[in-house]
Amino acid sequence: MEAVAKLRNCPMSPRKMRLVVDLIRGKKVNQALHILKFTKKEASEWLEKLLLSAINNWEQKHGEGAADDYELFVKTAFVDGGTVLKRFQPAPHGRAHRIRKRRNHVTLIVANKEI
């Protein structure tokens, strides 16, 4: 049985988010939470909240209570590019340089080991 949590329009580039998502993919939930707690990147704060949400979604879906009794793991985790805010910054000789403020969408699926 699995549960899904999605984070949409996170104000961070997908490339930076993927660095942290790659650390937790396939890990057990407790181990992934420890990894995120001690990672010194902004993406880890967003992903920690998302992982806790996915665990809570699994508990709500399963209906019997604590997820600690089941061996939950991060089954799938991926990052897609979101909308891009386009801005301009003045440059020399009357020109303008484009600034792209990227956003991303994260999808996290947790599941228990089925025997």
CATH code of the domain covering residue 91: 3.90.470.10
Q: Which domain holds residue 63?
A: 2-112
Cα separation, 110 vs 98, in Å, equals 39
pLDDT in tens, 13-38: 999 999 999 999 999 999 999 999 99
pLDDT in tens, 65-77: 667 778 899 999 9
User: In total, how many domains does the chain have?
Assistant: 1
